[in-house]
Amino acid sequence: MPAPNIVLLMADQQKATSLGLYGNPDVRTPVLDALAARGLLARDYFVQHPLCFPSRATIMTGLYPHTHGVFSNSGPMPADEPVLAELLRDAGYRTGTVGHFHKSSGGDRGFDYAYDMSDGILGQLWRERTTIAQSQPRRTQHMVTTTAHPPDADLNGRMTELGLQFLDRTDRSRPFFLQIAWIDPHPPYFAPAPYDTMYDRDGLALPPQETGFAEKPPAQLRTAQDMGTLDAPEAEIRAALAYYYGMVSHLDAQVGRVVDYLERHGLNSNTVLVYTADHGDYAGEHGMFGKSCTLYDCLVRVPLLLVGPDDRVPQGRVLGGLTQSVDLLPTLLELAGVAVPEHVQGRSWRRALDGEDGASFDTAFAQVGAQSPRMVNDPVRGNNLPFGPPAAGRQVELTSMIRTAEWKLVHTPGREINELYHLTNDPWELHNVYARERDGPVVADLLRRLQDWRR
């Protein structure tokens, strides 16, 4: 059997619960629904960092953030660590990437072809979006606008087109690895028609809101205030959520273009296709939109769909347990028949895909922070609404998370208020019970396991 082609489709800032596949009652994504029916859906899949490039560095290296050392979007990718594209290229793959992959930070390493979001037509369309955002008198994290271009000629549509052009030029005698790194549904929430009006704002189900931030680290309240969303009228919140969901449905249509191409060219029978995201979005949870230096599920739990040849990926399977983005590199390498480097920290899902007993996972980890004081205090990069979090949402301390099916501990050494959530009773993470005396043994156990992981 020849080595399979690999297509990695990456959304930017899409939380798992923005899809009906993960319980959302409102969002319509028929293409992704159909892919899940003929592939694998990871029910509880977590990225190891809630910011773009640190998360992508984990995906591309198979290493945890405290090992690869990337904690900000400025990178750089560690020069001495092989990345997924290099490993596949060395195994004979033709490699290409298009879109928002952080070329300036080393996100293009290992790719024979790289068309960055700052290049050519993509750069032109991105500058249009930037000009619109910067010209608004009230720049908030939940800013919305209808873009001027039709869906397939809009920024994300052009990314899809360029990715398919790479496939047109690829020698079919070699397997290929294509990554399309879309920018949506990253804020500001800019959607093309008809996706801007696809969802009835008044009919959307809103997430439950914080009753107060007294139990939470103080920076969370300041972040929500600085984002402009905490005290925003409900009509604005509903508009932002409707645009966010519209962007998700637009991406679904772009996935459809890729799937149709693979089918038309007879490639789907030997192609492994992955759909996922680099991290999530508050999307109305905790009084916020966008992201910041927290480790709530809305920021670190994202979609993961895996579709492939029947002999490699089971059909219609839901992968249980807690899976992680650090595991994606070894999984794809094993599916491709490529040796996994010994230093990789992720674990392949291959045994779980084969249905072996004891192959499921019961713990997930994530980290955030450790940003330079210059980044935190910089008036531009540290307060670049609506594209990124306000300065209050950044931090120099390193925060780590350990999550099981029942509990989540979020711990920052030296911080007065740490966080513990009993997810069974509090799935929205509204009630911090870290200081509750009866949960002291839980804190001690999780903290020990977190420290063992760090070592």
Domain count, the chain: 1
Whether the CB-CB separation of 298 and 287 falls below 8 Å is answered with: no
User: Does residue 453 lie within any of the structural domains?
Assistant: no
User: Does residue 441 lie within any of the structural domains?
Assistant: no
322: phi then psi, degrees, rounded to nearest 5? -110, 110
Four-point Cα dihedral 419, 443, 59, 318, nearest 10: -100
What crossing angle do the helices spanning 52-61 and 328-336 adopt, rounded to 10°?
40
Cα torsion 161, 166, 171, 177: sign: negative
Q: Which residues of the chain have pLDDT under 70?
A: 357-360, 381
Q: What is the pLDDT of residue 322?
A: 95
298: phi then psi, degrees, rounded to nearest 5? -60, -20
User: Does residue 397 lie within any of the structural domains?
Assistant: no
Q: What is the pLDDT of residue 358?
A: 55
Q: What is the pLDDT of residue 376?
A: 84
User: Does residue 424 lie within any of the structural domains?
Assistant: no
Distance between CA atoms of 268 and 263, rounded to whole angstroms?
Answer: 5
440 membership: H or E segment, kind and range: helix 440-454
Distance between CA atoms of 119 and 96, rounded to whole angstroms?
Answer: 15
Distance between CA atoms of 29 and 20, rounded to whole angstroms?
Answer: 7
User: Does residue 429 lie within any of the structural domains?
Assistant: no
Q: What is the pLDDT of residue 359?
A: 56
Q: What is the pLDDT of residue 60?
A: 98
The CATH number for 146's domain is 3.40.720.10
* CA dist list (Å): 230 to 219, 225, 297: 13, 5, 19
Q: What is the pLDDT of residue 221?
A: 95
User: Does residue 392 lie within any of the structural domains?
Assistant: no
Domain that holds residue 56: 5-358
Q: What is the pLDDT of residue 357?
A: 56
User: Does residue 447 lie within any of the structural domains?
Assistant: no
Distance between CA atoms of 383 and 394, rounded to whole angstroms?
Answer: 9
User: Does residue 413 lie within any of the structural domains?
Assistant: no
Half-sphere exposure of 184 (CA within 13 A, CB side): 30
